[in-house]
Amino acid sequence: MTERYLIAGSLCLDMQDERLLVDGTPVRLGGRALAFLRVLMERPQVLLTKDELFARVWPGLTLSDAVLTTAVKEVRQAIGDRARQPTYIETAHGRGYRFLLPVERRDTVETPDPVKEPRAALRLPRIDWRVWAGVAAGVVAVALVVWFISARVDRGAPPAQRAAAPATSAHAKSIVVLPFEDFSPDGEERWFADGLAEEVQTTLARAPDLRVLSRTSAADLRRDGASGQEVAKQMGAAQFLEGTVRRSGDRVRVTAKLIRTGDGFEIWSQSYDRDMSDVISIQEDIAFQIASALKTVMDPSRLRVMVAAGTRSVEAYEAYLRGLSFDQRQLEAGDLAYAEEAAEAYERARTLDPNFAAAHWKSARTWFGNETRVDASTRADTPASVRLTRYLERADAAIATSRDDTEKLKYQAGRASMTMQIREAHRLMARYLAARPRDIDAWEEMADLSAYAAEVGWMRRAAERIHTLSVEEGNPRSRAITVSVMSMDLDAAVLRAREQLRLRPDRALTQYQAHRAFIWSGNVAEARALLPRIAASQLPPPTRLLAEMRQACAEGRVNDALALRSRVEDGTLSNQWLSAQVSGDMAEATAILKPLDTPDRLPSLMQFMINPTFDVRAYPLLAGELNRNGIVPRTPIPVPHGCPVQTTASR
Three-state secondary-structure class, residue 129: helix
* 345: CB partners within 8 A, 6+ apart: 319, 320, 322, 323, 326
In this prediction the pTM is 0.66
pLDDT of residue 117: 44
How far is residue 34's CA from residue 461's CA, in Å, rounded to a whole number?
46
Is the sign of the CA dihedral 42, 48, 52, 54 positive or negative? positive
Rounded distance, CA 310 to CA 360, Å? 11
Rg (alpha carbons) of the chain, rounded to whole number: 28
- Percent of the chain that is helix, strand, coil (3-state, to 5): 55, 10, 35
Amino acid 288: pLDDT: 86
pLDDT reported for residue 618? 97
How far is 222 from 235, CA to CA, in rounded Å?
A: 12
* pLDDT value for 119: 45
Between CA 257 and CA 246 the distance in angstroms is 15
β partners of residue 252: 247, 274
pLDDT of residue 279: 82
Q: H or E segment at 524?
A: helix 524-528
- Bridge-based pairing state of the strands 171-177 and 211-213: parallel
Is the Cβ–Cβ distance between 377 and 397 less than 8 Å?
A: no
CB 391 within 8 A of CB 624: no
173-309 — its CATH code? 3.40.50.10070
What's the sign of the alpha-carbon dihedral 207, 210, 214, 218? negative
Under DSSP, is residue 33 helix (H, G, I), strand (E, B) or coil?
Answer: helix
> Which residues lie closer than 8 Å to 646 by C-beta, 6 or more apart?
583, 584, 585, 586, 587
5-8, strands of its sheet edge to edge: 25-27, 19-22, 11-14, 5-8, 104-106
User: Which has the closest alpha carbon to 276: 305, 311, 313?
Assistant: 313
What does the DSSP assignment read for 153-188?
HHHHS-HHHHHT-PPP--EEEEEEEPPPEE--TTS-
pLDDT mean values, one per 10 residues, the chain (651 residues): 81 86 84 88 90 80 74 89 89 89 85 46 40 41 37 36 39 89 80 84 81 79 82 90 88 91 90 85 85 74 68 86 82 71 94 94 84 56 85 96 91 95 96 90 95 96 95 88 98 97 90 97 97 90 94 96 86 88 95 94 94 97 97 96 75 51
Helix axes 336-352, 314-333, angle to 10 degrees: 170
88-116 per-position pLDDT tens digit: 999 988 889 999 998 988 888 765 544 44
CB neighbours (10 Å) of residue 288? 19
Q: Residue 513: its pLDDT value, please?
A: 96
* pLDDT tens per residue across span 302-316: 667 666 768 878 888
Amino acid at the residue 398 = A
The domain made up of 5-106 is a member of CATH 1.10.3720.10? no
- Alpha-carbon distance of 644 to 558, in angstroms, equals 8
Alpha helices by DSSP H, listed for 103-236, are: 129-156, 159-163, 190-205, 215-223, 228-235
